[in-house]
């Protein structure tokens, strides 16, 4: 990382200028706020003024006297109160680009201390509709996992499916009533729309007291492991799983299902464990943990209930058991939970209990990664024209069909003919990428408005814009009959034009962008990087002829184009987005 290299040079200069006590001082290197002043800036002089009792500009001068950076930068300049500006030398950029030309990781280092990390994401609920919140969790969680994996961490992707709870009593009782044959046929029956079954069962439950009793008994039977009930439960899970898998296939998501039921055998243990730590207090027969910083509207302390007065356990109990299992059995050093911001309190409470109980030790981390809502046009809840909740599969399929319409009208305009295979593949890739990118390019903590028109536009910060930049490079290779992998023996990179320099610098910052995503778990940083890259490439391409240029510019520009395409491909893959050779 260039930033890291500059940092090291400044660290050395600080020690040389002011002695060993500054050995640990962070030199505060950042990308220049204004490209007019250079590429990076060092802001340390201002923050040291007090400590060293010297004027910032004097400090900056002393740093420069001791700074060894000529190979890398033009003469550094002091500006304003004491900023030090660094402008990278073309010769240095040329050398660095040459290094990444043959590197499949494009200069992105592996993590220095790879960790075992659990990413808990997607996690829909059995027999309920997977909604747009789960879509966000799936897309964001997958991207975070991809980035962590690329940095060579050992990532366990877990789908914490809601497959347990009292609602199953109602579902099983209803299933037995309306579909008795489901329990006796050898081949699993297609139960059709589970969500409808759920609704009808719920209605039956609300209207009929006798049915309520049957449902309650079913819960007990299920928990006791009675064969029929367990079978019915499995049937329901399987049916939901099929529907979820359809979405995961479309989105290319890999996940290990480990639902709430998995932790069932550990629920009593976790409560006992908390009791041993003297963390439990009884309140109206319920077992609770009282926490700091959580109060209700009246200002009374709010408890986290881990066992209800009827003996049942809660969502939080399961999460505590899961946390313990993941830290102890999976040996996770970090657990990342990707859910909507509505669950922030839940996780804050669970984490606090886990810390108090000594489950999360100093070298371990549990992190909630919250995200905002997806809204329909007009900023309201997203729904169909009839006012129903939108099914995810319909939403994705509509994105694909919209992408197809766009493509077909472009084909007519351009008088192009393409095969059905080509059209359906492009439509699928563009449609799915557009949905993913629209989600990931937002700062995840904010709400965003879901708009097919916006996400499918060929210009602006959209997937199609980025895919198109990639296609442009492939077009160069087709037109000039260029094999990027074999550009010849001693190819040179020469950076003369401003747009070439700007593109080159940006290409060398991929690793900075990725490390930032890894640190803050904000995939939108990578989107911004890729958007800038596409814009800078397009500016370069408008200004600099490639195939028509004379040598050595021609080969050099081909390398720049190829590096752009490879960077786009790699960066997009970390967002879960596939590229196209033509579109």
CA separation, residue 373 to residues 103, 308, 448, 451, 454 (Å): 39, 31, 7, 14, 17
160 or 566: CB nearest ligand ARG = 160
Give long-range contacts, CB 8 A cutoff, 24+ apart: 148-152.
148/117, 148/119, 148/518, 150/108, 150/514, 150/574, 151/108, 151/109, 151/110, 151/111, 151/114, 151/514, 151/518, 152/110, 152/111, 152/114
Nearest distance in Å: CB 362, ligand ARG = 22
- Judged by beta carbon, residue 6 or residue 322, the one nearer ligand ARG is 322
Quote the CA–CA distance of 133 and 28 in Å, as a whole number: 38
Q: Which residue has the tokens 């992190």?
A: 367
Under the binding rule (CB under 6 A), the answer on residue 319 touching ligand ARG is: yes
Question: Is 162 an interacting residue with respect to ligand ARG (CB under 6 A)?
Answer: yes
Whichever of 123 and 556 has its CB closer to ligand ARG, that residue is 123
Asked if residue 176 lies in contact with residue 183, where contact means CB atoms within 8 angstroms, the answer is yes
Interaction pattern, residues 524-553, with ligand ARG; x per rule: CB under 6 A: ------------------------------
Is residue 261 a contact point for ligand ARG (CB under 6 A)?
no
| Burial category of 369 from C-beta neighbours within 10 Å (exposed 0-12, middle 13-18, buried 19 and up) | buried
Whose CA is closest to 493, among 507, 514, 513, 479? Answer: 507
Q: Write the burial class of residue 431 (CB in 10 Å: 0-12 exposed, 13-18 middle, 19+ buried).
A: buried
**Which among 90-98, 119-127, 239-247, 393-401 is the span making contact with ligand ARG, rule CB under 6 A?**
119-127
Residue with nearest beta carbon to ligand ARG: 123
- Residue 159 as a binder of ligand ARG (CB under 6 A): the answer is no
Q: Which of 73, 153, 240, 339 binds ligand ARG (CB under 6 A)?
A: 339
Q: How far apart are CA 103 and CA 98, in angstroms?
A: 9
**Which span sits near ligand ARG by CB under 6 A: 82-90, 116-124, 387-395, 549-557?**
116-124
- Identity of the residue, 125 or 474, whose beta carbon is nearer to ligand ARG in the bound complex: 125
Q: How far is the CB of 243 from ligand ARG (least distance, A)?
A: 15
Nearer to ligand ARG, 262 or 537 (CB): 262
Q: Which two tokens stand for residue 74?
A: 């033009």
Q: Which of 42, 29, 26, 38 is nearest to 1 (CA)?
A: 29
Closest separation in Å from C-beta 124 to ligand ARG: 6
CA angle 275/225/209 to nearest 5° reads 90
When binding is defined by CB under 6 A, the residue of 337, 470, 529, 537 that contacts ligand ARG is: 337
Least distance CB 579 / ligand ARG (angstroms) = 31
Indicate the residue among 64 and 236 with the shorter CB distance to ligand ARG: 236
Site for ligand ARG (CB under 6 A): which residue of 123, 317, 433, 553?
Answer: 123
- Please, which residue, 142 or 319, has the CB nearer to ligand ARG? 319
Report the residue from 41, 73, 85, 125 that binds ligand ARG according to the rule CB under 6 A: 125
Among the listed ranges 26-34, 123-131, 211-219, 520-528, the one in contact with ligand ARG (CB under 6 A) is 123-131
Tell me which stretch binds ligand ARG (CB under 6 A): 108-116, 122-130, 480-488, 556-564.
Answer: 122-130
The full DSSP string for 105-128 is TTTPPPPSS--EEEEE----BTTS
The neighbouring-strand residues paired with 340 are 371
Asked whether the beta carbons of 279 and 353 are under 8 A apart, the reply is yes
Min CB(258)–ligand ARG separation in Å: 10
Question: Which of 124/169 has CB closer to ligand ARG?
Answer: 124
* CB-based contacts of 407, cutoff 8 Å, min separation 6: 423, 426, 427, 430, 583
Does the footprint of ligand ARG cover residue 160 (CB under 6 A)? yes
Query: If binding is defined by CB under 6 A, does position 259 make contact with ligand ARG?
Result: no
What's the closest the beta carbon of residue 322 comes to ligand ARG, in angstroms? Answer: 6
- Asked if 331 contacts 116 with a C-beta cutoff of 8 angstroms, the reply is yes
How far is it, in rounded angstroms, from Cα 6 to Cα 68?
Answer: 10
Reduced DSSP (H G I as helix, E B as strand, rest coil) percent helix, strand, coil of the chain, to 5: 55, 10, 35
Beta pairing, strands 40-42 & 83-86: antiparallel
Residue owning tokens 């592996």 = 110
Size of the site for ligand ARG (CB under 6 A): 10
Shortest distance in whole angstroms from residue 120 CB to ligand ARG: 5
Q: Residue 141 interacts with ligand ARG (CB under 6 A)? A: no
Q: Which lies closer to ligand ARG via its Cβ, residue 145 or residue 467?
A: 145
Report the Cα 68 to chain-centroid distance in Å.
Answer: 39
Q: How far apart are CA 330 and CA 336, in angstroms?
A: 14
Residue from 120, 129, 163, 439 binding ligand ARG (CB under 6 A): 120
How far apart are CB 221 and ligand ARG at their closest, in Å?
24
CB 453 to ligand ARG: min, Å: 29
Closest contact distance (angstroms) between CB of 338 and ligand ARG is 8
The SS3 assignment for 304 reads strand
CB of 315 to ligand ARG, least distance (A): 7
- Using CB under 6 A, which of the segments 100-108, 118-126, 449-457, 498-506 binds ligand ARG? 118-126
Four-residue CA torsion sign, 326, 327, 330, 336 = positive
Nearer to ligand ARG, 61 or 166 (CB): 166
- Residues near ligand ARG (CB under 6 A) are 120, 123-125, 160, 162, 319, 322, 337, 339
């Amino acid at each position: 990382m260039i930033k890291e290299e500059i940092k090291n040079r400044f660290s050395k200069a600080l020690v040389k200028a002011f002695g060993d006590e500054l050995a640990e001082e962070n030199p505060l290197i950042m990308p220049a706020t204004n490209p007019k002043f250079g590429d990076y800036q060092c802001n340390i002089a201002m923050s040291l003024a007090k400590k060293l009792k010297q004027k910032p500009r004097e400090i900056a001068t002393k740093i420069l006297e001791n700074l060894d950076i000529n190979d890398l930068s033009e003469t550094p300049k002091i500006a304003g109160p004491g900023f030090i500006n660094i402008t990278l030398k073309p010769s240095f950029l040329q050398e660095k680009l040459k290094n990444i030309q043959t590197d499949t990781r494009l200069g992105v280092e592996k993590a220095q201390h790879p960790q075992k990390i659990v990413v808990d994401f997607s996690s829909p609920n059995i027999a309920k509709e997977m909604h747009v919140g789960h879509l966000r969790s799936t897309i964001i969680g997958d991207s975070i996992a991809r980035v962590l994996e690329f940095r060579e961490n050992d990532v366990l992707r877990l789908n914490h499916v809601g497959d347990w709870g009292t609602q199953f009593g109602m579902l099983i009782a209803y299933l037995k009533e309306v579909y008795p044959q489901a329990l006796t046929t050898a081949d699993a029956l297609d139960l059709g729309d589970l969500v409808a079954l759920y609704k009808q069962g719920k209605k039956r439950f609300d209207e009929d007291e006798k049915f309520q009793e049957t449902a309650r008994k079913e819960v007990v039977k299920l928990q006791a492991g009675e064969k029929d009930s367990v079978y019915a439960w499995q049937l329901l899970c399987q049916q939901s799983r099929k529907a979820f898998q359809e979405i995961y296939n479309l989105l290319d998501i890999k996940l290990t299902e480990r639902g709430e039921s998995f932790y069932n055998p550990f629920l009593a243990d976790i409560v006992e464990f908390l009791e041993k730590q003297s963390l439990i207090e009884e309140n109206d027969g319920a077992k609770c943990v009282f926490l700091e910083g959580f109060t209700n509207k009246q200002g009374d302390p709010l408890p986290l209930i881990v066992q209800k007065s009827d003996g049942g356990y809660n969502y939080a109990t399961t999460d505590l058991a899961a946390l313990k299992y993941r830290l102890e059995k999976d040996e996770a050093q970090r657990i990342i939970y990707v859910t909507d911001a509505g669950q922030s309190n839940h996780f804050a409470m669970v984490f606090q209990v886990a810390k108090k109980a000594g489950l999360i030790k100093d070298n371990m981390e549990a992190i909630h990664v919250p995200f905002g809502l997806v809204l329909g046009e007009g900023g309201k809840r997203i729904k169909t024209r009839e006012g129903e909740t939108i099914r995810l599969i319909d939403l994705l399929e509509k994105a694909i069909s919209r992408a197809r319409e766009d493509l077909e009208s472009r084909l007519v305009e351009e008088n192009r003919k393409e095969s059905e295979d080509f059209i359906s593949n492009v439509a699928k890739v563009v449609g799915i990428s557009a949905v993913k990118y629209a989600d990931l390019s937002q700062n995840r903590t904010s709400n965003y408005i879901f708009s097919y028109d916006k996400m499918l536009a060929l210009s602006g910060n959209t997937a199609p814009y980025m895919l198109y930049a990639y296609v442009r490079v492939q077009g160069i290779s087709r037109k000039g009959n260029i094999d990027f992998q074999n550009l010849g023996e001693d190819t040179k990179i020469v950076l003369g034009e401003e747009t070439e320099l700007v593109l080159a610098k940006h290409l060398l910052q991929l690793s900075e962008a990725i490390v930032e995503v890894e640190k803050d778990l904000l995939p939108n940083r990578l989107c911004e990087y890729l958007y800038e890259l596409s814009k800078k490439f397009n500016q370069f391409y408008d200004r600099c002829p490639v195939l028509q240029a004379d040598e050595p510019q021609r080969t050099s520009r081909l390398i720049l184009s190829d590096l752009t395409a490879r960077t786009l491909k790699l960066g997009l893959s970390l967002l879960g987005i596939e590229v196209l050779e033509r579109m």
